[in-house]
Structure 1
Amino acid sequence: MTETSTHTNSAQQQIAAVLAEAKTDAFVHARDVDSGEEFGYGADEGVILASVFKIPVVLEYARAVAAGTLDPTEYATVTSEYRSGGIGIGGCADDVTASWRDLALLMMSFSDNAATDFLYERLGVDSIVATMRQLGLEKTNLNLDCRGIFTTIYEDLGLEKTTVLEFPEIDVLNTMSIMDPARTNSSTPREITMLLAAIWRDEAGPTAACEEVRTIMSKQVWPHRLSSGFPDEVSVAAKTGTMPLIRNEAGVVMYPDGNRYAVGVFTKSYELTDRAPKIDLSIGTVGRIAVEALRNN
């Protein structure tokens, strides 16, 4: 057995143990941004992106700015039709006026759904998907904004949108569109790290666009998932994603020695709960194990 396979097998076993303790499944991929070396754990499985789909959206925004087709300082008003709940503008009582660049920041820093949908409509899903295909991401499918995702939930449950939403038992939940990668925004862990590596290598668009995405992603406010697995001297730029049973994060971790690793961890819990601190922490732990496998190799 080679040294490389020894490290890989050890990492696989460690990840399995962490996931068993957290009572969750996970699909993982880590990629050395510069060498291309990879580590995977179910890396080619179809996964539900949840808010990780906002990474392709922010990339398309930055490409439009770089191309001169969108003025980032132009002001736009997000009205009530875009508010589907959540934090930020999505939960505001009144219309909010902001620049496009601030909407992009709100979308990525704390996952503002209303800002996302406003940008999604302005950019156009066809353009976003076309960029993914240009970058070689054939299994990354985006067909719903945040409002569209909520609409499928109400439709699957046979509820009016004015009804207070309460999720059903797991057996019913698992039959719904939001739990099926074929019917919601989806990708694979390997493709998501491919996208991130392209952004960090300035290959996902003009250099200015890639740099803007990196800057925006570095301002995410959530430290409880991927960041939790790494020491303070390791920088993390990432995006979370959360839905019933689903907790994800994808991003790039940057070490003081200059090495950079794209990481995607996508989990699906065995239990339906609003709070799952063990799963949140497992995302950081699993991400670190995957990166250490690459560094040890």
Structure 2
Amino acid sequence: MHLNRKAICLITALVCYSATWLVVAGQSRTTLPALRQRIDRELNQQTGVFAVAFKDLTTGNELLIREREVFHAASTMKTPVMIEVYNQQAQGKLALTDSILIKTEFNSIVDGSPYTLPATSDSDSTTYKQVGSKRTLASLVYDMITVSSNLATNLVIERVGAPNVVQTMRDLGASDIQVRRGVEDTKAFAKGLNNSTTAYDLMVIFDKIATGQAVNAEASKAMIATLLDQKFNDAIPAKLPKAVKVAHKTGSINGVRHDSGLVMLPDGRRYVLVLLSKDITDDKAVINAYATVSAWIYQFVTQG
């Protein structure tokens, strides 16, 4: 009888220990509200205004912070422009093999007056050496995304038309993105006629690309392949495992730093993450904060 009582006590202790362990283990799992608070705290340490949009394409979970606030789009607008190229190709209005004459002079949307795109303000120097020659539309789209070429962007926008880009964004459900003009149109800038976006809208279009609904499945697959070749990888991808692939587009101007894209895990799971900012004062610190936030999102998605 004495031994049975010991056995019962031992079993009871083991059950209590197991229950306690399960509670502790359960508490170690990060909830979506807890993740949001953690991200808020991290970004609030920086000077500036920040927006976050995260969507797990497997579970449908979303984390949204200032997702509808309007930001200068900077180079994130190049993703909508790429979508419109594929849209017009699907409609038979152009072909990716079309030849485009390389030039540096464009017309302001304000009054049609000419302005010249300077190589000194562009991350791409190669295309400027090709003025007077021709390049395929496909190659310009590739440079527009992967090295964020402003010259390639202006040539592509001139070909497809900014109003058409906006209409396609509306058709996809992105109600606030505005692509009004090319880059370095100083007269337009002075009048506040800028390209703008919200984190929510960028989340919407990357969701469409991920699910094959941006034009069609074939076009979406091609766009993902281009986005995967992004050369600026110091934000969303920076602290992720190398096996994780990120198809993304960055953007930055003075006081602004963005990253937006599709994160693809080796096991097939995917999620969209958009990080936007304005009025920032420490660009490097913001980039590091973005990389940290991205790592936390990844940990949330992959937690057991």
* 1:122-154 Cα deviation digits (max 9, x unpaired): 111122111111111111222121133x4344x
- Among 273, 276, 279, which residue is 2:286 paired with? 279
Q: Quick check: 1:104 aligned with 2:104?
A: no
Distance 1:218 1:145, change over 3 A: same
Tell me the residue number matched to 1:88: 124
Which amino acid in the other structure matches residue 246 of structure 2?
V
Structure label with greater radius of gyration:
2
- Among 188, 199, 205, which residue is 2:215 paired with? 205
* 1:54-76 Cα deviation digits (max 9, x unpaired): 00000111222233322212222
State the distance in 1 between where 2:31 and 2:57 align: 19
After TM superposition, list the pairs within 5 Å mapping 1:146-185 onto structure 2.
146-148=183-185, 150-153=186-189, 155=190, 177=192, 183-185=193-195
- RMSD of aligned alpha carbons: 2.4
Per mean C-alpha deviation after superposition, the further-off stretch among 243-252 and 121-130 is 121-130
- Among 82, 105, 124, which residue is 1:58 paired with? 82
- Among 198, 205, 215, which residue is 1:195 paired with? 205
User: TM-score, structure 2 length as denominator?
Assistant: 0.79
After TM superposition, list the pairs within 5 Å mapping 1:1-297 onto structure 2.
7-82=31-106, 83-84=117-118, 85-88=121-124, 92=128, 95=131, 96-148=133-185, 150-153=186-189, 155=190, 177=192, 183-271=193-281, 276-296=283-303
Q: CA deviation at 1:99?
A: 0.8
Residue ranges of structure 2 left out of the alignment (5+ in a row) = 1-25, 107-116
State the distance in 1 between where 2:96 and 2:217 align: 16
State the distance in 2 between where 1:201 and 1:217 align: 15
State the distance in 1 between where 2:225 and 2:96 align: 15
Tell me the residue number matched to 2:8: none
State the distance in 1 between where 2:280 and 2:200 align: 23
Tell me the residue number matched to 2:9: none
Tell me the residue number matched to 2:5: none
Q: CA deviation at 1:207?
A: 1.6
* 1:165-205 Cα deviation digits (max 9, x unpaired): xxxxxxxxxxxx3xxxxx42222211211110111101121
Which amino acid in the other structure matches residue 135 of structure 1?
L
Q: CA deviation at 1:16?
A: 2.6
State the distance in 2 between where 1:91 and 1:69 align: 25
Identity across matched positions, percent: 23
Which amino acid in the other structure matches residue 77 of structure 1?
L
Q: CA deviation at 1:78?
A: 1.4
Which amino acid in the other structure matches residue 66 of structure 2?
G
State the distance in 1 between where 2:160 and 2:206 align: 20
State the distance in 2 between where 1:257 and 1:134 align: 31
State the distance in 2 between where 1:214 and 1:220 align: 10
- Paired residues in the alignment total 265
State the distance in 2 between where 1:227 and 1:218 align: 11
**Higher normalized contact order (CA 8 Å, seq sep 6+, divided by chain length):** 1
State the distance in 2 between where 1:34 and 1:12 align: 19
SS across alignment from 1:229: coil
Distance 1:259 1:266, change over 3 A: same
State the distance in 1 between where 2:103 and 2:125 align: 9
State the distance in 2 between where 1:130 and 1:285 align: 35
SS across alignment from 1:13: helix
* 1:243-286 Cα deviation digits (max 9, x unpaired): 11000010011111111011100012442x6xx22211212222
